[in-house]
Structure 1
C-alpha cells in the first residue's frame, strides 16, 4: 500500500532513524562499564559523558553525531534518562534511611535545602541565563545528572539547555574523586566520618561510591546510605517546583486569554515511577539478584543517556560561553562540601 504524501512517519521509519544513535550510545555503555571494571575508581557514568564529549569533538565522529546519530542520541538523552531515574528507586530502602536516626536525616535534609538555595543565589550572582541556575542547583544538591533530567522535565527545559549543567556536575564530581580522599587525614576524619561527608557532599551516586571506597567498607556503607537519603528528596523538590511552575503558567495563560492551556505536570510520571520503585524496594520482597539486575539496567539506561548528553557538548563553545557557569559551579561545590562537613560534625556530637 502506498503511503499518502504528508502522512506521519511509520514506526519502522522512526526506529530506523533512532537505531544508529542508540547503537552508538549502547556501545559507549559497554566501553564505560569495561573501563569501570578495569579501573573501579573511575565511575562508568563519568566515562560515558567523556566518551560523548569526545565523540562530538573528534574529527572522525563529529559528522556522525551531528548527522545520522543525532536523533537516537537525543532520544537517549531524554527518554533513557527517565528510565534510569525510575530504576534508581530500586536502590533506596526507607528502612535503611530511618536507621540513620532523625537527627542525621534532618541534617541531610538541611544540607540539601541550604545547598539548593545557596547554589540558586550563586546563579543569580553570576547572572546565569534561563533555567541553568535551577538545574545546577538541583544536580549539585541532590543526585547529579538524574536530578537535572527530572527538573528539566518539570520546567520544560530544552534538551540542549541541560548539556552545560550535566557537564558541570560531571566535572565537579570527578574533581571530588581525586580531591576529597587527600583531605581525609588533614581534616582528621575517621573512615565513618569521611563516608558521611562524601555521602552528604558529592553529587552523583557513582561519584560517591568511587570517592568513599578509597577509605574502605565502613566509609562506603555510610556514604551510600547518606547519599540515598539525598536522592529521596528528588521527588518533593521536583513536586514543589511543579506546583510553582503550574501557578506561573496559569497566570501567563490568564494574561494571554487562556490561549496556552497545556499545563506542566506537578510530578512527572517517571518521578512517580521512581517513588513506586522506592516503595517496592522498601517492602523487602525483592531478592538480591533482582536488585543487582536493576542496578545494571540503571547503569545501561543512564550511561546511554549521559553519552547522548555528552555528545551535545562542543568544547569550543563551552569554553566561550561556560566560563562564568564553571566558576559558579566550583563555588557551589565548595559550599556543599563545607555544609556537609559541618553536618558530619553535628552528627558526631
Structure 2
C-alpha cells in the first residue's frame, strides 16, 4: 500500500479548496437567503427555500465547470457533516425518559410507514429510491432523515428535491389540522405532545403545531421529535447493508463487512450524541453546533437544487405525492391507534 506523504497535505488542501470554493460559496449564499426566509417565517424553515432557490437558479443557468465541483462537494460532503452535527440535539437522559413513554407509538408508526412506503410505493410505480426517501422522511424526521439516507442509497438530486417538497406540504397541513384534531379528541398537552412528536416531521413544524395547540405541549413534543431522530441510526445501517448486498449480488455478509457498510457520518452522529449526553459539549457551543447543522443542511439542499433535473421531477408525476399523502395518513392513524390501545387516549 502506498501512502501520500503528510508533508504534501497543506498543498493538496489548498488545491482542493481552489477547485471547490466557487460552488460552495454559491450554495452557502443561497443558504443565507433561505435562512433569512426561515427566520421570517419559522413554519417554512430553511430547507425548502434553499432547495427552491437552487432549483430556480439552476433553471435560469446551470452550474458550469467552474462551479460544479463545489456544488457536488456541498451536496455530498457538507450534507454528511450536517448529519454528524445533528447529534448535538440529543442527550442520553432525554432519550431514556422520553423513549420509555413514546417507544411503542414511535416504533409502530415507523414500521407501518416503512412497510407502506415499500408496498404502496411499488403499487403506485414510484421508483425505489424516491419511495425510500419519502418513507424515511415521513416516518422519522423529514429533511434530516432524507439528508442522512440520500447518500447511502445514491439518490438523485431530483429525487431528493421531490421528497423534501412532499414532506414540506404535509408538514404545513399538519400544523393547520393537528391542533384541531387534538382539541376534537380532548387531548391534554402531554398527550398532544406525543402525537405531534411522532406524527409531524420537521422540528419547526412540530414546534408550530404544539405551540398552536398549547404552550404546555411544546416541550414534550420537541423532545419526542428529537428522540425519534435516533431512528436514523438503525434505518441507515439497514439500508447500507441492503444497498451493499444489492451491489455485490448476494455475496455472503460477515459481521466485519456489515460494520464496513456503516457510513462514517453515522458514526460521527453517534459520537457527537454521546459527547452531548456526557456533558462534554458546553452550552454555548451546543447551540452553535445545532445552528451549524441547520445551515449546512440548507447549503447542501441549495446545491442539490442547483443540480436538480426538473424534467425528471415532472416525469415522476403525481404518484410520489399520493404516496406521501397515504403515508402521512397511515402514520397519524397508527399513532392515534397505539395511543388509544396503550391508554394515552380515552374515548
TM-score by length of 1: 0.83
Partner of residue 339, structure 1: 334
- 3-state SS in 2 of match to 1:42: coil
Please name the residue that 1:319 is paired with.
314
Equivalence map 1:90-239=2 (5 Å): 90-100=88-98, 102-239=100-237
> Are the structure 2 counterparts of residues 148 and 37 from structure 1 closer, same or farther at C-alpha, using a change threshold of 3 Å?
closer
Structure 1 segment 35-54 matched on structure 2, within 5 A: 35-54=37-56
Tell me, yes or no, if structure 1 residue 286 matches structure 2 residue 281: yes
1:192 is paired with a residue whose SS is helix
1:54-107 Cα distance to aligned partner (Å, 9 max, x none)? 3334xxxx2154665443333222111111110001101121121126242232
What is the distance in 1 between the residues matched to 2:199 and 2:189?
15
Unaligned runs of 5+ in 1: 1-9, 255-261
**Which of 305, 324, 344 matches 1:348?**
344
Separation in structure 2 between the aligned mates of residue 294 and residue 208 of structure 1, nearest angstrom: 20
> Aligned partners of 1:75, 1:174: CA distance in 2, in Å?
31
Task: Quote the RMSD (CA, aligned, Å).
Answer: 2.8
Deviation at 1:149, TM superposition (A): 3.2
Match of residue 3 from structure 2: none
- How many pairs were matched up? 330
Segments of 4+ moved more than 6 angstroms:
none
CA contact (8 A) 1:49 1:307 kept: yes
- Quick check: 2:171–2:200 contact (8 Å CA) kept in 1? yes
Q: Is the 8 A contact 2:45 2:204 kept in 1?
A: yes
Query: Residues 16 and 252 (structure 1 numbering): CA distance in 2 closer, same or farther, change over 3 Å?
Result: same
Distance 2:67 2:29 in 1: 13
Instruction: Give the deviation of 1:161 after TM superposition.
Output: 4.1
Give the drift of 1:275.
0.6
Task: Name 1:29's counterpart in structure 2.
Answer: 31
Q: Deviations over 1:221-265 (max 9, x none)?
A: 1111111121111111211222333334443569xxxxxxx9994
Give yes or no for contact 1:74–1:308 (8 Å, CA) kept in 2. yes
**Change over 3 Å in CA distance of 1:36–1:157 after alignment to 2:** closer
Q: 1:50 to 1:248 in 2, by over 3 A?
A: closer
Q: Secondary structure of the equivalent of 1:286?
A: coil
